[in-house]
Amino acid sequence: MKETRQTIQVHERVSLVKGIPLSIQHTFAMFSASVLVPWLFGINPAIVLLMNGIGTLIFIFVTQGKAPAYLGSSFAFLSPTFLILANPNMGYQYALGGFVVSGLIFCAVAGIIKLVGIDWIDILLPPAAMGPIVALIGLELAGTAASNAGLILNETYTEINPKFVIVFLITLLFAVFGQVLFKGFMAAISILLAICIGYVAALIAGLVDFIPVGEAQFFALPNFQTPIFDMSAILIIIPASLVVISEHIGHQVVTSKIVGKDLIKDPGLHRSLLGDGISTTLSGFFGAVPTTTYGENIGVMAVTRVYSVWVIGGAAVFSILLAFIGKASVLIQTIPNPVMGGVSFLLYGMIAASGLRILVDRKVDYSRARNLSLSAVVFVTGLSGAFIQIGEVQLKGMCLATIVGMVLSFIFYIFDKFGFSND
């Protein structure tokens, strides 16, 4: 059957009539996760929405409009920041100093990559390792989607709520069948439509609370804070930088596969990491949280085939506006977890499938022992729950799998160089 779905490429502009809902779709996709981080830290989410939007626009500028990515709040810094907040002699401003330094580390690594090139990526992250690593980005998040949907019993959900399950299924099924059955522009906004349908179902089920909307102010200014640079706090924060750098490489690879262009080479890994570094540095200076390229928005691109940086830029503008419009921001926060869990279920799965696609497209030969061993070790490392403790930061999941995969790949490379391998 002939493909009828339209693909909007990275450089393409769309009309405002189409661009606005496409951008809002990305805003909704990132919103709940990005706002959760400042909520956990006890700071006003408005400053984070503001800096996420500004950071995304900076990223688009630094990458010359060639790399579609939305920069949202990083979860990698949760543990070290909680440790700082638990210290009675410190506060959030001390964590901000660490965020600034982390952003500068991103920029420094970007400079090193610019000097040494990217040939090392093919050596340290061959397809047999990169495919599973990319898949782990989605697989790691799968539990979050199920938890949001109320399908996993934990401290928040002590029993399965049938209303949650019904709303989750309505949202998920509409998202799945929407992308399969819809054509043209309707297919492009299938995630937004699924959220709307899920929201209506949640309203009918009585899961939406409008009280916070009534209490919120129409207009509100973000709360700015200045960083305090304390060496002990900085040393606590710095190890999390490794997590984000590993995550960044994986995200650029999966985005490259989705858009059909090698973003590692053009605009270059050094540019994309620099954009994230500048964003994180500025966020630290003004009182927000570190940023990272967001898997949720990568998933939206994979589902909708809309890769335009103009659409991503529009989402960044909406995020900036939400930082000043209190009621609008709170209204989006009324979207129940089962609704976001429903769309996330699909989005995270699409990321995982993109990792498997790398293995297929690169024709990885699993009759070779090294490829089979490499993929097996990476998958098990990422999914086993194993971790390495560095200070107050745990390297686990996709991050630890990336490190293990790089070490093992380098050993195989040395074997080849010295003629030890018979594979």
The pTM assigned to this predicted structure is: 0.82
Task: Write the pLDDT tens digit of every residue in 92-127.
Answer: 999 999 999 999 999 999 999 999 998 888 888 898
- Judge whether 5 lies within some domain: no
Tokens 């690169």 sit on residue: 362
- Judge whether 407 lies within some domain: no
What is the domain count for the chain? 1
Of 379 and 29, the one with more pLDDT: 379
Tokens 């899920």 sit on residue: 198
Mean pLDDT for the stretch of residues 297-306: 91
Mean pLDDT for the stretch of residues 72-86: 86
Res 172 pLDDT > 80: yes
How many angstroms separate the CA atoms of 262 and 255, rounded?
9
Q: What is the pLDDT of residue 392?
A: 64
Residue 265, phi then psi, degrees to nearest 5: -95, -40
Domain that holds residue 203: 16-363
- Judge whether 175 lies within some domain: yes
Mean pLDDT for the stretch of residues 38-45: 83
- Judge whether 394 lies within some domain: no
How many angstroms separate the CA atoms of 275 and 292, rounded?
10
- Judge whether 410 lies within some domain: no
Q: What is the pLDDT of residue 378?
A: 94
- Judge whether 245 lies within some domain: yes
- Judge whether 228 lies within some domain: yes
What is the three-state SS of the chain? CCCCCCCECCCCCCCHHHHHHHHHHHHHHHHHHHHHHHHHHCCCHHHHHHHHHHHHHHHHHHCCCCCCCCEEECCCCHHHHHHHHHCCCCCHHHHHHHHHHHHHHHHHHHHHHHHHCCHHHHHHCCHHHHHHHHHHHHHHHHHHHHHHCCCCCCCCCCCCCHHHHHHHHHHHHHHHHHHHHCCHHHHHCHHHHHHHHHHHHHHHCCCCCCHHHHHCCCECCCCCCCCCCCHHHHHHHCCHHHHHHHHHHHHHHHHHHHHCCCCHHHHHHHHHHHHHHHHHHHHHHHCCCCEEECHHHHHHHHHHCECCHHHHHHHHHHHHHHCCEHHHHHHHHCCCHHHHHHHHHHHHHHHHHHHHHHHHHCCCCCCCHHHHHHHHHHHHHHHCCCEEEECCEEEEHHHHHHHHHHHHHHHHHHHHHCCCCCC
Q: What is the pLDDT of residue 5?
A: 61
Q: How far is CA 8 from the centre of its chain?
A: 21
- Judge whether 4 lies within some domain: no
Averaged pLDDT score across all residues of the chain: 89
Mean pLDDT for the stretch of residues 67-82: 88
Mean pLDDT for the stretch of residues 268-281: 97
Asked if 340 and 32 touch (Cβ cutoff 8 Å), the reply is: yes
Task: Write the pLDDT tens digit of every residue in 224-257.
Answer: 999 999 998 998 888 888 878 888 988 998 899 8
Res 313 pLDDT > 90: yes
Res 1 pLDDT > 50: no
In the numeric block, which tokens belong to residue 97? 């100093």
Asked if 402 and 250 touch (Cβ cutoff 8 Å), the reply is: yes
Q: What is the pLDDT of residue 159?
A: 81
AA letter at 90: M
Distances (CA, A) of 170 to 64, 98, 151, 194: 39, 43, 14, 8
72 forms beta bridges with: 292
Task: Write the pLDDT tens digit of every residue in 359-413.
Answer: 998 899 999 999 999 999 999 999 998 988 877 667 788 878 888 999 999 999 9
